[in-house]
Chain A
């Protein structure tokens, strides 16, 4: 079971993600530089948080067109598990691997705080260690997390149970439509989410609810690889 983490020059939660994957999987992930055009054989590709290329044009817009993303799209099509967190989620939507867009927060300000997340679909590769309706605390830290999609896309997301996480108990920090915090593609192998499960894996973080997400996907990927 080998995960990989994609590194853009402005990634800054990459170190958090690498530490989380190392602690949970027992070995450090493979690191892939953004200009690489090939990715070794891995079971999980993580696009971490940060400001990939400074996010000056639009969050994730330039990163979505970087050389490594073509290979990620190919892997996604083959069914490899892809996880995008925060800027990673923005990049995956910009790259067309997930529907919708992440706009500037409704409050127009960066927001870093603990929110509550409801697990809407505990039957995905990423969430099988949670239960449907489970509410966990989770930190967010972003300026552009206001998820939006047109009514048709939204209906499809709802009908197909592609909405994996929703902000619960009135803690929506950014104005996301339908309180959407994380979605998965129709095929079920590409998950994007704004909150940071990688900052919620040790007692020192106050809560370890984020661990289950990584444990779920690592377990599924390992069993599929076997």
Chain B
């Protein structure tokens, strides 16, 4: 049966493809004629926001992306950073926001699948995953359903694929009611001389299609992700892809096996805009043309049109350029893993992207223009207004500090996320040294025989969207700084970062201003803290019915631990240990969780970050941990000092007596001043640490001692560890299951 590939290209059709009139005119100009229906689909796939970064490119270019350890920065499937011993870490974070809101399980699952594929496409075996999730208000009728589906989807894919999930974030805020965020991170390890790129090399080489068959799922997904949501959202369900982690696992093993043979010239996974995007990228990067014959593409549905095949986002598919002399070996590997293997085209020397279907040429386009000539906009933006800095006395003090502490521990954004991360396999691969619940996830590095090398990688993801909303630049800085702090708190040297920028509609100058200033803040911070951005993703148009999300530039970061016998964790405190604060007493309550949870206010400026102080204190803490004398460490962030101490007490099941006297106790206890750490050290080391701090000009104070089974802070707080744990552990299960669940022993 012949499938028709011709539909008249009308102005309405052009608009439905998310292309503006100017963009369409440019296309006609570049091609020298009107596009065919299939060609229109291809242009729209390549030029939408998701694939072309047309609104953000100008600003992304300003980010520091290089460093002595950076092997591959942005522009490939993932960033690559040297970790010594001939190995590198390959990582990236990517959003799957729109699909996850429409269909939470599959949306989140395929988000995990996509990012894992980005990592192993480069030749790395995935060793760690994280996810940063933002949901609407807990009271919103959809929230529970979305949390349940997203968490199950992430677990369903990652657990089956076999990668440990070692960290992440979960936040709730009404501004995500109509547009949740699902940002998935993955990291893998590769040999530095075994990295694979997408740039095609050589004319007349076979282009091979690998993995799962092509279906109609996800047609137009990237275009959908580049538009706001309206009331018609339910109609977009068919644009969500369906994941198959089993096939992905087979694809991983087959790809790594094939890469070892030396047969792979170039490789690109089929993610957003599937076959179109992968083929164009391989060709355009290599200055080559590409010819595809769709009759050879393995399909799982009959009568698919060229348009559908080119825009399908069916998962678990790869495109490779192969050394023709090795095609037979390659085929054998894929047959062993029961995966499709088909030669679907070849590289050419004419810089054209040609697509054949049923003997007819359905597309013939200039390949460089498709990829490189995508429009780049300097969208108008306005500088965000700076909110006033709130002095502590200007913020109401509720007086009852015990209640405030328990309320915060039992609040949606500060309670234990155990309910979430127990649905993720955190231990698979047998290399996990620190599971979620601390400052960073830690995975040890092993040799080819699986023997520990004594080295490890630490992973963290962070951003505080309410800070970014109040002051995008400080918020951007803070997201990077907190990642830096989380890594230092386990004793890791921060290496590099990946950014996942989630914002509203960039055509609104206010939103564009948020993006511009957040990027400025991120740029400053990664420069000062030596954590270059090596990969990333931009997700814009996160709006429903005109209301945008909180600006959420999620940062994922990787650190290196040279000696695993000297790492710190949140829960390592022993009886009699001295608790030390690195940093000063807090005075900053603006945008704090204390204000939001106890006073119902979200006002003021967020706490500023001084990057020089950040760096100095981080290096000091890391040196202390490196001396092997620190029994526990935790950074002070959301909820301030009182929450940080409480978290350390709960994690170690030890009480503490803290000396504190303050004129503004609510600020001292719950202020969220930045660049601060809590460090637990044995008595006989405390003086040495103090001397070192003084010598290095680091603000330092001895707060108290770990002892007993209660947390006592001056005359302000006195609560048993048991009561704190009950408050901390109960919110999530009660919210999700509607009933109190037994307190799980926090080992």
Interface string of A197-214 (1 = CB under 8 A from B): 011001011000000000
Residue of A nearest to B433 (CB): A204
Partner of A141, one of B159, B253, B744: B159
Are A110 and B159 in contact, with the CB atoms below 8 A? yes
Residue of A nearest to B430 (CB): A16
User: From residue B160, how far is it (CB to closest CB) to chain A in Å?
Assistant: 5
Are A51 and B450 in contact, with the CB atoms below 8 A? no
Could you tell me the distance between the alpha carbons of A16 and B246 in the complex, rounded to whole angstroms?
18
Are B450 and A113 in contact, with the CB atoms below 8 A? no
Task: Tell me the B727-745 residues at the A interface (CB within 8 Å).
Answer: 742, 744-745
Are B427 and A196 in contact, with the CB atoms below 8 A? yes
Are B450 and A204 in contact, with the CB atoms below 8 A? no
Interface string of B151-163 (1 = CB under 8 A from A): 0100110011110
Partner of A12, one of B155, B162, B422, B424: B162
Are A54 and B159 in contact, with the CB atoms below 8 A? no
Contacting residues, chain A, for B536 (C-beta < 8 A): none
Are A51 and B452 in contact, with the CB atoms below 8 A? no
Residue of B nearest to A113 (CB): B422
User: From residue A74, how far is it (CB to closest CB) to chain B in Å?
Assistant: 25
B564 close to chain A: CB less than 8 A: yes
Partner of A198, one of B159, B421, B430, B564: B430
Could you tell me the distance between the alpha carbons of A59 and B155 in the complex, rounded to whole angstroms?
16
Task: Tell me the B495-533 residues at the A interface (CB within 8 Å).
Answer: none
B747 close to chain A: CB less than 8 A: yes
Are A13 and B428 in contact, with the CB atoms below 8 A? yes
Interface string of B329-370 (1 = CB under 8 A from A): 000000001100000000000000000000000000000000
Give the interface centre of B161, B246, B430 by most chain A CB atoms within 10 Å: B430
Could you tell me the distance between the alpha carbons of A113 and B746 in the complex, rounded to whole angstroms?
10
B426 close to chain A: CB less than 8 A: yes
Known: A110-B425, A112-B422. A9 touches B430 (CB 8 A): no
User: From residue A207, how far is it (CB to closest CB) to chain B in Å?
Assistant: 10
Are B423 and A22 in contact, with the CB atoms below 8 A? no
Contacting residues, chain B, for A28 (C-beta < 8 A): 449
Partner of B429, one of A15, A56, A170: A15
Are A56 and B452 in contact, with the CB atoms below 8 A? no
A31 close to chain B: CB less than 8 A: no
Could you tell me the distance between the alpha carbons of A111 and B151 in the complex, rounded to whole angstroms?
12
Are A54 and B422 in contact, with the CB atoms below 8 A? no
For chain A, the bracket of interface size reads: 35 or more
Could you tell me the distance between the alpha carbons of A109 and B151 in the complex, rounded to whole angstroms?
10
Are B160 and A54 in contact, with the CB atoms below 8 A? yes
A55 close to chain B: CB less than 8 A: yes
Give the interface centre of B161, B422, B742 by most chain A CB atoms within 10 Å: B422
Task: Tell me the A21-64 residues at the B interface (CB within 8 Å).
Answer: 22-23, 28, 50-51, 53-56
Known: A54-B246, A110-B155, A112-B422. A19 touches B427 (CB 8 A): no
Contacting residues, chain A, for B433 (C-beta < 8 A): 204
User: From residue B426, how far is it (CB to closest CB) to chain A in Å?
Assistant: 6
Could you tell me the distance between the alpha carbons of A110 and B165 in the complex, rounded to whole angstroms?
13
Residue of A nearest to B419 (CB): A109
Are B160 and A204 in contact, with the CB atoms below 8 A? no
Known: A19-B430, A111-B423. A13 touches B162 (CB 8 A): yes
Are A112 and B427 in contact, with the CB atoms below 8 A? yes
Are B450 and A141 in contact, with the CB atoms below 8 A? no
B: number of interface residues (CB 8 Å): 39
Contacting residues, chain A, for B425 (C-beta < 8 A): 110, 112, 141
Contacting residues, chain B, for A205 (C-beta < 8 A): 430
User: From residue A86, how far is it (CB to closest CB) to chain B in Å?
Assistant: 10
B249 close to chain A: CB less than 8 A: yes
A20 close to chain B: CB less than 8 A: yes
Are B427 and A51 in contact, with the CB atoms below 8 A? no
Are B249 and A10 in contact, with the CB atoms below 8 A? yes
Are B450 and A9 in contact, with the CB atoms below 8 A? no
Are A199 and B427 in contact, with the CB atoms below 8 A? yes
Partner of A9, one of B338, B444, B452: B338
Are A15 and B450 in contact, with the CB atoms below 8 A? yes
A18 close to chain B: CB less than 8 A: yes
Could you tell me the distance between the alpha carbons of A143 and B162 in the complex, rounded to whole angstroms?
14
Could you tell me the distance between the alpha carbons of A137 and B426 in the complex, rounded to whole angstroms?
16
Are B245 and A54 in contact, with the CB atoms below 8 A? yes
Are B246 and A51 in contact, with the CB atoms below 8 A? yes
B698 close to chain A: CB less than 8 A: no
Known: A112-B422, A204-B452. A199 touches B160 (CB 8 A): no
A114 close to chain B: CB less than 8 A: yes
Contacting residues, chain B, for A204 (C-beta < 8 A): 431, 433, 444, 452, 564
Contacting residues, chain B, for A3 (C-beta < 8 A): none
Interface string of B395-433 (1 = CB under 8 A from A): 000000000000000000000000001111111111101
Residue of A nearest to B450 (CB): A19
A139 close to chain B: CB less than 8 A: yes
Are A50 and B450 in contact, with the CB atoms below 8 A? no
User: From residue A111, how far is it (CB to closest CB) to chain B in Å?
Assistant: 6
Residue of B nearest to A10 (CB): B246
Could you tell me the distance between the alpha carbons of A124 and B37 in the complex, rounded to whole angstroms?
70
Are A12 and B449 in contact, with the CB atoms below 8 A? no
Partner of B250, one of A10, A20, A137, A198: A10
Residue of B nearest to A112 (CB): B425
User: From residue B564, how far is it (CB to closest CB) to chain A in Å?
Assistant: 7
Could you tell me the distance between the alpha carbons of A114 and B418 in the complex, rounded to whole angstroms?
12
Could you tell me the distance between the alpha carbons of A56 and B156 in the complex, rounded to whole angstroms?
12
Residue of B nearest to A139 (CB): B427
Are B246 and A53 in contact, with the CB atoms below 8 A? yes
Could you tell me the distance between the alpha carbons of A56 and B449 in the complex, rounded to whole angstroms?
32
Interface string of A166-194 (1 = CB under 8 A from B): 00001100000000000000000000000
Contacting residues, chain B, for A170 (C-beta < 8 A): 742
Could you tell me the distance between the alpha carbons of A22 and B246 in the complex, rounded to whole angstroms?
26
Are A112 and B423 in contact, with the CB atoms below 8 A? yes
Known: A10-B249, A13-B428, A114-B747. A109 touches B423 (CB 8 A): yes
Task: Tell me the A106-136 residues at the B interface (CB within 8 Å).
Answer: 109-114
Contacting residues, chain B, for A15 (C-beta < 8 A): 429-430, 450
B244 close to chain A: CB less than 8 A: yes
Residue of B nearest to A205 (CB): B430
Are B423 and A51 in contact, with the CB atoms below 8 A? no
Contacting residues, chain B, for A113 (C-beta < 8 A): 422, 744
Are B246 and A112 in contact, with the CB atoms below 8 A? no
Could you tell me the distance between the alpha carbons of A139 and B428 in the complex, rounded to whole angstroms?
10
Are A12 and B249 in contact, with the CB atoms below 8 A? yes
Could you tell me the distance between the alpha carbons of A143 and B424 in the complex, rounded to whole angstroms?
10
Interface string of A3-15 (1 = CB under 8 A from B): 0000001101101
Give the interface centre of B249, B421, B427 by most chain A CB atoms within 10 Å: B427
Are A202 and B452 in contact, with the CB atoms below 8 A? yes
Contacting residues, chain B, for A13 (C-beta < 8 A): 162, 428
Are A112 and B424 in contact, with the CB atoms below 8 A? yes
Are B450 and A12 in contact, with the CB atoms below 8 A? no
Contacting residues, chain A, for B742 (C-beta < 8 A): 170
Are B426 and A50 in contact, with the CB atoms below 8 A? no
User: From residue B257, how far is it (CB to closest CB) to chain A in Å?
Assistant: 12
User: From residue B166, how far is it (CB to closest CB) to chain A in Å?
Assistant: 12
User: From residue B152, how far is it (CB to closest CB) to chain A in Å?
Assistant: 7
Residue of A nearest to B745 (CB): A171
Could you tell me the distance between the alpha carbons of A110 and B160 in the complex, rounded to whole angstroms?
11
User: From residue A87, how far is it (CB to closest CB) to chain B in Å?
Assistant: 10
Residue of A nearest to B737 (CB): A107
Could you tell me the distance between the alpha carbons of A15 and B252 in the complex, rounded to whole angstroms?
14
Residue of B nearest to A17 (CB): B430
Could you tell me the distance between the alpha carbons of A18 and B685 in the complex, rounded to whole angstroms?
42
A-B contact pairs, 9 of them (CB 8 A): A15-B430, A18-B450, A19-B446, A22-B449, A110-B152, A112-B159, A112-B427, A141-B428, A202-B430
Closest 6 CB pairs of A and B: A12-B162, A54-B246, A19-B450, A16-B430, A51-B160, A141-B425
- Please name 17 further chain A to chain B contacts, defined as beta carbons within 8 Å, in addition to the given A15-B450, A51-B245, A110-B159, sorted by A numbering: A9-B253, A10-B249, A12-B162, A51-B246, A55-B246, A56-B246, A110-B155, A110-B423, A110-B424, A112-B159, A112-B421, A112-B427, A141-B159, A141-B425, A141-B428, A196-B427, A204-B444
